[in-house]
Chains A and B, each alone.
Chain A
Amino acid sequence: MGKNGSGKSTFSKVLVGHPDYEVTGGDVVFKGENLLDMEPEERSLAGLFMSFQSPVEIPGVNNIDFLHMAYNARRKKLGEPELGPLEFYAYIYPKLDLVNMKTDFLNRNVNEGFSGGERKRNEILQLAVLGADLAILDEIDSGLDVDALQDVAKAVNGLLTPTNSVLMITHYRRLLEVIKPTFIHIMENGRIIKTGDSSLAEVLEEKGYTAISAA
């Protein structure tokens, strides 16, 4: 958590290798390897996932084709045989229920004409299909109505296992009530200034960021 402009999204974009940012110093070690030496697609294949705050539209590319490409890239990396279109369909079909989406969702172009809620669901669907050791969810709750929030939260909870981690960026306690965080970190000016358990969110809600900065 942290104020607007405190660097939360910037930090996550740097981690996944967004081309707008250049790292001038330091290391990022992920599973024993330096992330900064890797191309963005290698970071993804290494098990790092970030959901975009506002994912781009890709006209002309089918959602299912996109997921298929991404999933096969992963299988190739793991040395497993790539899935054909039919096998992939069988694999992805049950995942749709997870985010409560209809089948026609797969035949639409990636994010094109998607509502805010659909975009967020689509990001979670990608996470469900690809899997990740560390998933960074950047404001996955923004722009969601109550029902959509429940769906997304349920999906994220379903994806959490003892062997993977989720890092969420949020401004609201609402999300934290349905996805229980182990830790809450507060960021200011690009640094973590406070770490605590989920009770920290309550303090924030009551007294605001000034109370934390001052303390």
Chain B
Amino acid sequence: MAALTFIHQNLLHSTPKLTTSKPNLKPKRTKTKLSIQTIRESPQASFTDQFVLQLADSLEDSLPSSSSSLPLQKLRDNSSEALLSTQWPSRKDESFRFTDTSFIKNSDINPISHPPNSLDLLEVSRDTQFESFNFVDGFLVDSSFSSSKLPDGVYVGSLSKLSSEGILKRVCELLGDFEWGDLFWSVNGLGAPDLMVVYVPEGCRVENPIYLKYIAVEGADKGSKKMPLSNPRVFVLVEKGGEVGIVEEFVGKAGSECYWTNSVLEVVVGEGGKVSHSYVQKQSLSAAHIKWTSVRQEKTSTYELVEVSTGGKLSRHNVHVQQLGSDTVTELTTFHLSVGDQTQDLHSRIVLDHPRGYSQQLHKCIVAHSSGQAVFDGNVKVNRYAQQTDAGQLTRSLLLEPRATVNVKPNLQIIADDVKCSHGAAISDLEDSQLFYFQARGIDLETAREALVFSFGAEVIDKLPYSFVQKQVKDHVKALLKSRRKGSS
């Protein structure tokens, strides 16, 4: 599978608009059979990586000594075992071909073993404008959210405080059952100090979104090699016909620069259920941020993800959506912004095994720094029984500086023979015709560029389902783009 690498050569004179296929290609039914090879996410080495082993040891040492509940213990055991045969990923592994993780490896990784002191917590809760559930350095702390606002039967909170046997049994059945995880998945599985459970019972519609705020408090200075590691983990289970909105926001406390957040979110959507997921990543520009989102969808269920990632020196989002029944709806919409020496990476995989699935993916990224990078590997797999699948995928990148880099690898693997699939990739500078339209109305080129760059991302931001999230994300992106402009002038 060929990957595309484009380096923006000249800002003013060339408009590299390259398409693998027309972005606006009218989808048509294809009868083409493509032979595919099975690609394992990473070749599993049989021997042990000493570095990983050491990391696993320090993770185990960091865990609270009190005995944990059964599902969590099972998860730790499995993860610990997996780590024994997993190596730190290198550029030779297909899924890390364009993503250099040595920045993390070369740091002094230090798993955080206890939540910060109460003074810091106070500061954190004062900072939060909306009622939220707060993770601080991977630990779930008392939330500002009053549970009385939740409908009957809904549980949101720590696994350790879960009293319902029924829910516990369901969590036990489903937690961590995932064959596609990589090293970072297992690191979280071993190192997560707690598990947050969001449970929505059958037929229940949760009106207000569940707002999860992940705050990194412990952080080293930019220059030091130290890298405190946190492993927050959330499990969302929506039973048949249930509906819930999840908002995840990742931030670093002001002054915390260098840290590593390694987060996992698992979602199971029951028959006819719906999960609307908003994911906003605003980490420090010196931080490492790795996230897994694993979704399993039963028949006629809906999962919608809107992601906006702007922070982190290295930020990677792995999304895996597995279809468990027919007639599912899956929408992934992503906006990545690199305004500094940053890598923004999205690795997504949608696996369709049942008829009449619908999946739509839009990935947009802006690289606004000469050593900035964006990576997109979007795989949609339409297997033999996934007839009448309707799958679309589009990636659009905007490179604003010479040497800004984007590596995109949109790919569809189709085995079923009666499907409607389209995909496209476009990499470009801003459209001249649009810039001229601004100028013709008296708006100078710089202002026009700024408005157009912002509007490029606004298409995704506008899809965030809650206006309060939309507004704060817009303000944040505007400020980042402004800081870039100031920095360059």
Q: Do A and B assemble together?
A: yes
Residues of A that sit less than 8 Å from B by CB:
16-19, 39-41, 44-45, 50, 52, 55-56, 58-61, 65-66, 69-70, 73-74, 77, 109-110, 126, 130
Main secondary structure of the interface of B (DSSP, over half): helix
- Give the complex CA separation of A124 and B370 in angstroms: 41
Most chain A CB inside 10 Å of its own CB: which residue of B442, B452, B457, B459: B442
- Give the complex CA separation of A145 and B328 in angstroms: 43
Residues of A within 8 A of B437 (CB): 52, 55-56, 58, 110
Residues of B within 8 A of A19 (CB): 432, 436
Most chain A CB inside 10 Å of its own CB: which residue of B431, B434, B443, B456: B443
Q: Does B447 contact A (CB under 8 A)?
A: yes
Is B442's CB under 8 angstroms from A44's CB?
yes
Name the 5 nearest CB pairs between A and B, nearest first: A60-B455, A44-B442, A40-B439, A60-B458, A70-B441
> If A52-B437, A55-B437 touch, does A41 touch B455 (CB 8 Å cutoff)?
no
Is A39's CB under 8 angstroms from B455's CB?
no
- Give the complex CA separation of A77 and B442 in angstroms: 10
- Give the complex CA separation of A27 and B432 in angstroms: 25
Is A126's CB under 8 angstroms from B441's CB?
yes
Residues of B within 8 A of A70 (CB): 438, 441-443
> If A18-B436, A69-B447 touch, does A59 touch B455 (CB 8 Å cutoff)?
yes
Is A58's CB under 8 angstroms from B442's CB?
no
Residues of A within 8 A of B439 (CB): 17, 39-41, 44
- Give the complex CA separation of A17 and B109 in angstroms: 58
In whole Å, how far is B404's beta carbon from the nearest beta carbon of chain A? 20
Which chain B residues numbered 431 to 474 have a C-beta less than 8 Å away from chain A?
A: 431-434, 436-445, 447, 451-452, 454-459, 462
In addition to A18-B436, A56-B434, A66-B438, 6 A-B residue pairs with Cβ atoms within 8 Å of each other are: A41-B439, A60-B457, A60-B462, A69-B438, A69-B451, A73-B444
Residues of B within 8 A of A52 (CB): 437, 440
Is B443's CB under 8 angstroms from A41's CB?
yes
- Give the complex CA separation of A215 and B232 in angstroms: 85
> If A61-B452, A69-B447 touch, does A41 touch B442 (CB 8 Å cutoff)?
yes
In whole Å, how far is A93's beta carbon from the nearest beta carbon of chain B? 19
In whole Å, how far is B298's beta carbon from the nearest beta carbon of chain A? 35
Which chain B residues numbered 410 to 437 have a C-beta less than 8 Å away from chain A?
A: 431-434, 436-437
- Give the complex CA separation of A110 and B436 in angstroms: 14
- Give the complex CA separation of A202 and B154 in angstroms: 77
Which B residue sits closest to A39, measured CB to CB? B439
In whole Å, how far is B363's beta carbon from the nearest beta carbon of chain A? 16
Is B433's CB under 8 angstroms from A73's CB?
no
Which B residue sits closest to A126, measured CB to CB? B441
- Give the complex CA separation of A126 and B459 in angstroms: 24
Is A74's CB under 8 angstroms from B442's CB?
yes
In whole Å, how far is B14's beta carbon from the nearest beta carbon of chain A? 14
Is B441's CB under 8 angstroms from A58's CB?
no
